[in-house]
Amino acid sequence: MIRKERLVKLLGEGRVFTNEPMSKHITFKVGGPADYYLLPKNVETLVAVINYLKEEDYPYYIIGKGSDLLVLDEGYPGAIISTYGGFDTIRIEGMTVYAEAGALMSKVAASARDASIAGFEFASGIPGTIGGGAIMNAGAYGGELKDLMGKATVLTKDGRIVTYTRDQFFLGYRCSSFFDKEEIVLSVELTGHPGDPKEIGDRMKELNGRRKEKQPLEYPSAGSTFKRPEGYFAGKLIQDAGLSGYRVGGAQVSEKHNGFVINTGDATAADILTVIEDVKRIVYEKFQVKLEPEVKILRVDRNR
- β-pairing verdict for 60-63 and 76-82: parallel
Cβ within 8 Å of residue 293, ≥6 positions away = 225, 226, 227, 276, 280
d(CA 57, CA 53): 6
Q: Which among 82, 115, 138 is the end of a domain?
A: 82
Based on the domain organization, do 11 and 66 belong to the same domain? yes
Q: Is residue 227 part of a domain?
A: yes
Q: How far apart are the first and last CA of the chain?
A: 15
The pLDDT value recorded for residue 96 is 98
Based on the domain organization, do 123 and 204 belong to the same domain? yes
Based on the domain organization, do 99 and 72 belong to the same domain? no
Based on the domain organization, do 129 and 240 belong to the same domain? no
166 is catalytic: no
Based on the domain organization, do 134 and 170 belong to the same domain? yes
Based on the domain organization, do 74 and 134 belong to the same domain? no
Q: How many domains does the chain have?
A: 3
**41, 15 contact by CB (below 8 A):** yes
> How many separate helices (H) and strands (E) can be counted in the chain?
8, 20
230 is catalytic: no
- Domain range for 173 is 90-213
The pLDDT value recorded for residue 299 is 82
Based on the domain organization, do 183 and 252 belong to the same domain? no
Q: Is residue 303 part of a domain?
A: no
> Among residues 20, 121, 144, 294, which one is catalytic?
294
Other Cβ atoms within 10 Å of 122 Cβ, number = 22
What element of type H or E holds 36? strand 33-38
**278, 248 contact by CB (below 8 A):** yes
CATH of residue 273 = 3.90.78.10
CA–CA distance from 131 to each of 48, 82, 145, 180, 220 (Å)?
A: 18, 11, 11, 15, 21
Based on the domain organization, do 169 and 193 belong to the same domain? yes
Based on the domain organization, do 129 and 95 belong to the same domain? yes
Q: What are phi and psi of 5, to 5 degrees?
A: -60, -40
The pLDDT value recorded for residue 103 is 96
> Among residues 174, 189, 203, 221, which one is catalytic?
174
Q: Is residue 304 part of a domain?
A: no
The pLDDT value recorded for residue 301 is 66
Q: What are phi and psi of 135, to 5 degrees?
A: -60, -40
174 is catalytic: yes
> Among residues 23, 82, 224, 254, which one is catalytic?
224
CATH of residue 200 = 3.30.465.10
Based on the domain organization, do 29 and 102 belong to the same domain? no
Give the pLDDT means over successive 10-residue stretches in the chain (304 positions): 94 96 97 97 95 95 93 96 92 98 96 98 94 94 95 94 96 94 96 98 96 95 94 96 98 97 98 98 98 91 56
